[in-house]
Amino acid sequence: MIGDRMLPAHRFSVAPMMEWTDRHCRFFHRLLTRRALIYTEMITTGAVLHGDRARLLGYDAAEHPVALQLGGSDPRDLAECAHIAEDLGYDEINLNVGCPSDRVQEGRFGACLMAEPGLVGDCVTAMKARVVVPVTVKCRIGIDEQDPEEALGALTCAVKEAGVDALIVHARKAWLQGLSPRENREVPPLDYDRVYRLKAAHPDLLVVLNGGVTTLEQAVAHLDHVDGVMMGRAAYQQPWRLLEVDPLLFGQPAPVATPKAAAEAMLPYIERELEAGTRLHAITRHMLGLFRGVPGARAFRRHLATEAVKPGAGPEVLAAALSLIMDSRVDLAHIAA
């Protein structure tokens, strides 16, 4: 369960992104949308089991609903990590079957698991046996020379049998040799039809589409074919788009009226975090794309980028950057144009 409703938030989610969707980013995104499901960065089972758990898994209660993404392929370790995460209050546990980095391949997890649907099924079975919160999988349509019809079909059957609660599909292949992780997000062509067909073939499975969705209008169009849409880079780089999520996808008012109001709402959080030893830039780096097409947006970005990194930088840096935004009553129709 997520809150008092079964998986409703999947209608729209913000993707797990290493180095990007840390807890500061997620807190900020939550000020822009109450309803989107937000994902952590991928955290490996090794890190959860042996690392600094408070640092790796700590989050603010305001972030709910928040899903933890795990990287790993040992069913027992994954089950243990899922249990730890559930205890900490995470609303969902997600398994990464899509990351193509060399480091991840060496650990035999991430996208290379597309070649081992049976093992992915075992991982899901083991996690489901230990937690009551939803267990989901994020995958690709295939890897390397795989035929996406077969590869995605086999993975889907394996995880369904294991009782997976949702399958999130990045609608392109990953090439494990020769392409960097970044290229693997851009070069292999998007195949939305493959994801639509998957949903048509498995109407009882909650299917979320990911990859290349850059506007909320596109998200709405995909929802004619799938249960949910996950947005990654566009949500991070242009976070103002998240202000449209609650009105457009959930029929509820946005939590704040303007991007500027969201930024101002960050000030108490920033004060709290600075007192706890966080550096200002660690928080404000996620806010650089908040304004677009608004007079002063570039000056805002520049001020934050140069001043927030300085030792001792405090909330006044954000306040000063905000004062460079000309129109305090920016309305969404204007910036969305």
Residues in touch with ligand FMN (CB under 6 A)? 15-20, 41-42, 69, 96, 98-99, 138, 170, 185, 210-213, 231-234
DSSP state of 280: H
Based on CB atoms, which residue is closest to ligand FMN, 288 or 325? 288
110: left (phi > 0), else alpha (psi -120 to 50), else beta?
Answer: left
Residues with a known catalytic role? 99
Residue 5 CB, nearest approach to ligand FMN (Å) = 24
- DSSP-derived secondary structure for 234-254: HHHHSGGGGGGHHHHHHSS--
Cα–Cα distance list, 300 to 105, 292, 319 (Å): 40, 10, 10
Residue 329 CB, nearest approach to ligand FMN (Å) = 30
By beta-carbon distance, which residue lies closest to ligand FMN? Answer: 232
- C-alpha span between 111 and 250 (Å, rounded): 32
Based on CB atoms, which residue is closest to ligand FMN, 209 or 280? 209
Based on CB atoms, which residue is closest to ligand FMN, 152 or 213? 213
Residue 110 CB, nearest approach to ligand FMN (Å) = 8
Based on CB atoms, which residue is closest to ligand FMN, 232 or 315? 232
Residue type, 182: R
Residue 163 CB, nearest approach to ligand FMN (Å) = 21
Place of tokens 């089972």: 45
198-204: long-range pairs with CB below 8 Å, 24+: 198/152, 198/153, 198/156, 198/167, 198/169, 199/225, 199/226, 199/227, 200/225, 201/153, 202/156, 202/160
Residue 272 CB, nearest approach to ligand FMN (Å) = 26
Q: What is the dihedral of CA 95, 30, 305, 215, to 10 degrees?
A: 80
Residue 296 CB, nearest approach to ligand FMN (Å) = 27
Based on CB atoms, which residue is closest to ligand FMN, 289 or 296? 289
Based on CB atoms, which residue is closest to ligand FMN, 70 or 294? 70
Q: How many CB atoms neighbour CB 260 within 10 A?
A: 20
- C-alpha span between 3 and 5 (Å, rounded): 6
- C-alpha span between 129 and 311 (Å, rounded): 48
- C-alpha span between 68 and 136 (Å, rounded): 10
Give φ, ψ of 325 to 5 degrees.
-80, 120
